[in-house]
Structure 1
Amino acid sequence: MSTKGFMPIGVSGVLDVSAPVKRQKGRRTGLVLLAGVCVGAVAVCAVLMPLVYFTLADLQTKVDRLSASDDHVQKALKLHGDSAVVATDSLGEAVGVQTAYGNGDRPRRDAGAGVRPPPPPPRTGAVYVRWGREGCASDIETLYKGVVGGGHYSHHGGGGNYQCLPLEDVEWDKPQAGYQHGSYMYGAEYQSGNAQFSTDNMPDGISNPLNYDIPCAVCHVVGRFAHVMIPARLSCPQGWSKEYSGYLMSSHHGHQSNKDFICVDGAPNLVQGSASDQNGALLYLVEAQCGSLPNGPYVNGYELTCVVCTK
């Protein structure tokens, strides 16, 4: 039996203190190793604890950011419904909302920030002249009211188109009295139409617009961006809106001055008190001349109609 690591005992069972005692090297080595392990564990903990702390703090920040982003997305989806699309970053996190209005709204840091409101509707549109009427339709903006003017029927020169001259807020800049420049503007008169034009908008008792001055109005229709005058038609193509219809009119073929063809409202107004025959820029109904025009859709001598359409 080995006695390594034990104190010697005498035969009588009494401890022999005179016998040499062996050193217990194994126990001390174990204690040293245990102490080293504890010290090492403390060092490792000292190193790892800050890393664990910062990792937890970073995770909390990400959770807070995801929560705020989710609140923003929910508000946007509630406001825009199906028109909102959630935008994500490379990690799949929601970073904003793309709406039908084309603006990506990112979550803002300031409290109470919401989704941008939709832009106001556009105010642009088509502009046209309503010849023969004092104003536009009730649902159409009237830019101004006026009277039709143009060059004199007997003059060789001057402008070749009719103008809608305003009756209010006429402005001048350095005017000179008298005539110095040789180009003139005259008022326009009806020269035909007692059988064709409706009397609905004429003064009571008047059935013939002959020699009356011709009113006009410049109209702005919002949300439409094109307009066209179609001769020989009373209706518009599919998808277009009819503004008004009437008769094609221009100057007389035998006069010195030729003018544009314009569409004059079929139920015209007349400028009150203007029945005196002053001439000036005259307007005549336009008739079809077959032979040069195809005989079939057109009838020789028929007065041509017209319509103004917008889209």
Structure 2
Amino acid sequence: MKFQRYARPVRTVSYKALMLATFILVSGLLSLVVLTHQVFRNFKSLETNVKDKLWRLQQQQESFNNQNEKKHLIRKRTPSTAFVSVQCYLCLGTTYIRWGRRDCPIKDGTQLVYEGYAGGSHYSHVGGGSDFLCLHSDPTYTPGHYTTGLSGSSYVYGVEYRDSSSFYGLFDLSLIEEGVLQYQGVPCAVCFVRSPSKLMIPSRETCPDGWTIEYTGYIMTGGHSDTKHSSSHICVDDTPQAIHGSKGNQNGAYLYVSKISCSNNMPCEPYVSVREIRCVVCSYL
């Protein structure tokens, strides 16, 4: 009896199936690459946005810090007129008028803005302004925008000292030619001081604690008997100057030293009747 040898059938893979499997594999790999690339791009974009926002926040913080420092930076004066840095908001300084002088006090932090001439209303006019002006020594006029002739209804005149020699002992007249104050023109100066505030105190010659003296003087205004209108009270320096070449009675605006009348509700203590009124201009430290 012959036995036939068993032959296992050989399986063959079709060409189409192999190509399909290869296509699927390659497509999957390509999809994975594209997805990976997209994720990478999104990550880079996110990283860029985060860096940009962080940079903007840093810039805003630096800007805020700079503004905050500027808001709090001023210069503070001590009674010795030395300056130290302190913090405040836009406390750059203030101005005041030094009546009777062409210059400003010689001290750190005080400087001349301009010098000029005191002006006011005529002593005999019933109207006009009641205040005194510090007119610039170098005026300007807009071409074609002014009139000529005596056609105005309001005028400003030069101011002159009117008190006689009996008052000369109140002042230091070392800066006045020949030591004669009466009838001379009154100069003025606008001063800038690196201080957040200034104050004129009548009836005092010293400043409160924490304030610095700019100058001392006497309260002066128009006379009560020969004027027909009121004028303001100003603090005129007790070491006055005069406008050069202004000698002689010009009959313009007048300045007299003011005195206390301790009646009509003005207490005679501590005030003394008919005594001249001192004044002081102070700036805050």
Please say whether Structure 1 and Structure 2 have the same fold, judged by a TM-score greater than 0.5: yes
TM-superposed deviation, 1:59: 3.7
Aligned positions of 1:60-99 closer than 5 A: 60=44, 87=57, 97-99=61-63
Contact 1:213 / 1:275 at 8 angstroms: preserved in 2?
yes
Seen in structure 2, the aligned counterparts of structure 1 residues 310 and 37 have a Cα distance that, compared at 3 Å, is farther
Q: Tell me how far apart the structure 2 counterparts of residues 269 and 188 of structure 1 sit (CA, whole Å).
A: 13
Query: What's the CA shift for 1:67?
Result: 7.2
Contact 1:164 1:216 in 2 (8 A): yes
Maintained 8 Å contact 1:149/1:165: yes
Per-residue Cα deviation, 1:147-168 (whole angstroms, up to 9, x for no partner) = 2222222332222222222332
Specify the SS of the correspondent of 1:175.
Answer: coil
CA distance in 1, matches of 2:26, 2:111: 85
User: Which structure 1 residue ranges, 5 or more long, are not aligned?
Assistant: 1-9, 73-85, 88-93, 104-120
The one-character-per-residue Cα deviations of 1:241-263 (angstroms, maximum 9, x if unpaired) are 54322111011121223211011
**Structure 1 60/156 Cα, relative in aligned 2: closer, same or farther at 3 Å?**
closer
- Please tell me whether Structure 1 or Structure 2 has the larger radius of gyration of its CA atoms: 1
Q: 1:170 to 1:38 in 2, by over 3 A?
A: closer
Note if contact 2:91-2:196 (Cα within 8 Å) is conserved in structure 1.
no
Aligned counterpart, 2:75: none
Q: State how far apart, in whole Å, the 2-side matches of 1:43 and 1:280 are.
A: 107
Q: How does 1:193-212 map to 2 (within 5 A)?
A: 193-203=167-177, 205-206=178-179, 208-212=180-184
Query: Equivalent residues in 2 for 1:281-292 (5 A)?
Result: 281-291=253-263, 292=265
Q: CA deviation at 1:46?
A: 2.1
- Equivalent in the alignment of 1:258: 230
**Judging changes above 3 Å, is the alpha-carbon distance between structure 1 residues 55 and 245 closer, same or farther for their aligned structure 2 residues?**
same
1-structure distance, mates of 2:45, 2:118: 73
**Structure 2 unaligned regions, length at least 5:** 69-88
In 2, the alpha carbon distance for the partners of 1:53 and 1:158 equals 87
Equivalence for 1:297: 270
2:241 to 269, 288, 291: 269
User: What is the TM-score when the length of structure 2 is the normalising length?
Assistant: 0.70
Query: Residue type matched to 1:250 in 2?
Result: T
Match of 2:29 among 30, 39, 45: 45
Aligned match of 1:55? 39
Residue 283 of structure 1, CA deviation: 0.9
Deviation at 1:128, TM superposition (A): 2.5
Question: Cα distance, 1:199 vs. partner?
Answer: 2.6
Looking at structure 1, the residues matched to 168 and 201 of structure 2 have their Cα atoms a distance apart, in angstroms, of 23
- Aligned twin of 2:66: 101
- Greater shift in the superposed pair: 129-138 or 37-46: 37-46
How far apart are the structure 2 equivalents of 1:299 and 1:69?
73
Mapped to 2, the partners of 1:174 and 1:39 lie a distance apart of 97
Q: 1:59 to 1:241 in 2, by over 3 A?
A: farther
Bigger relative contact order, structure 1 or 2 (CA pairs below 8 A, ≥6 apart): 2
User: 1:142-291 alignment to 2 at 5 Å?
Assistant: 142-171=112-141, 173-177=145-149, 179-192=150-163, 193-203=167-177, 205-206=178-179, 208-221=180-193, 224=195, 226-255=197-226, 256-291=228-263
| Conserved 8 A contact 1:194-1:210 | no
Q: Which runs of 4+ in 1 moved over 6 A?
A: 33-39, 64-70, 121-124
In angstroms, what is the RMSD of aligned CA positions?
A: 3.9
Change in 2 beyond 3 A, CA 1:52/1:238: farther
CA distance in structure 2 between the aligned counterparts of 1:182 and 1:22, rounded to whole angstroms: 136
Q: CA deviation at 1:264?
A: 0.7
Count of residues paired in the alignment: 252
Please say if residues 198 and 281 of structure 2, whose CA atoms lie closer than 8 Å, have aligned partners that are also in contact: yes
Identity over aligned pairs, percent: 30
Match of 2:102 among 109, 128, 134: 134
Q: Which has the higher helix share?
A: 2
Distance 2:208 2:140 in 1: 38
**CA deviation vs aligned residue, 1:99-124 (integer Å, no higher than 9, x gap):** 32249xxxxxxxxxxxxxxxxx9797
3-state SS of paired residue (2:35): helix
Contact 1:197–1:268 (CA<8 Å) still a contact in 2? Answer: yes
Deviation at 1:285, TM superposition (A): 1.0
SS of match in other structure, 2:158:
strand
